[in-house]
Amino acid sequence: MPVSPEPMTSEPRPRALIVMGVSGSGKSTVGEALAQRLGWRYEDADAYHPKANVAKMSAGQPLTDDDRWPWLKAIAAEIDRVIAGGGHIVFGCSALKGAYRDVLVHGRDDIRIVFLDGSRELIGGRMAARKNHFMPAGLLDSQFATLERPGPDERPIIASIDAPVATIVDDIVGQLPTSTSD
């Protein structure tokens, strides 16, 4: 009897990882370490906010959907540009709602979501200790209120942030598809 081959995973190797989560969840810290581990470029979505968005958050006001759409579209365009050029990228981006992630992923199965999962208490403590950052800790409640955790349909890679950075990176890398079918 012929032996059937091992089933091939249909998941392509990711070309872009969107490291998402509320303010202070560790997107920059973990995202940069992850990019370094993979040998990929890291970009921070905070650098793509128009000045008006940063001014608003600095003044303690949460952003609205309308503040976020152009910002998300600019990030999606940059991800597409990098992939089209044969590159790989890790983007640290809050991407709090499912609709925001739809703009970023736009149906591509080589763009994957990495959710940094942590409690309000843990993140609040880290934000209170953080220096020289425009985001006031007072906006954390609004970040959690806006957060829609990624559902299974989004095939998220979920990592607990209650661990040292290197352990979080190990966890994420261990969940990446190993298929070579890209």
Ligand X SMILES: Nc1ncnc2c1ncn2[C@@H]1O[C@H](COP(=O)(O)OP(=O)(O)OP(=O)(O)O)[C@@H](O)[C@H]1O
Ligand Y SMILES: O=C(O)[C@H](O)[C@@H](O)[C@H](O)[C@H](O)CO
Binding residues (CB under 6 A) for ligand Y: these are 23, 46, 49, 63, 68, 94, 96, 135, 143
- Residue 128: how many CB atoms within 10 A of its CB? 10
Comparing CB distances to ligand X, the nearer of 120 and 130 is 130
Strand locations in 39-155 (E)? 41-44, 89-92, 111-117
Residue placing its CB nearer to ligand Y in the complex, 59 or 84: 59
* Binding partner of residue 35 among ligand Y, ligand X, none, CB cut-off 5 to 8 Å per kind: none
Q: How far is the CB of 148 from ligand X (least distance, A)?
A: 17
Q: Which is nearer to ligand Y, 132 or 180 (CB)?
A: 132
Q: Which residues of 30-59 are buried (b: 16+ CB within 10 A; e: fewer)?
A: bbbbbbeebebebbbbbebbeeebeebbee
Per CB under 6 A, residues contacting ligand X are 21, 23-30, 46, 92, 94, 126, 130, 135, 161, 164-165, 168
Which residues make beta-bridge pairs with 92?
19, 44
Q: How far apart are CA 88 and CA 170, in angstroms?
A: 18
Q: What residue 68 binds from ligand X, ligand Y, none (CB within 5 to 8 A, per partner kind)? A: ligand Y
**Least spacing, CB of residue 8 vs ligand Y, in Å:** 37
Q: For ligand X, give the closer residue by CB, 109 or 145.
A: 145
In the complex, the smallest distance separating the C-beta of residue 121 from ligand X, rounded to whole angstroms, is 13
Query: What's phi and psi for 157, nearest 5 deg?
Result: -95, 120
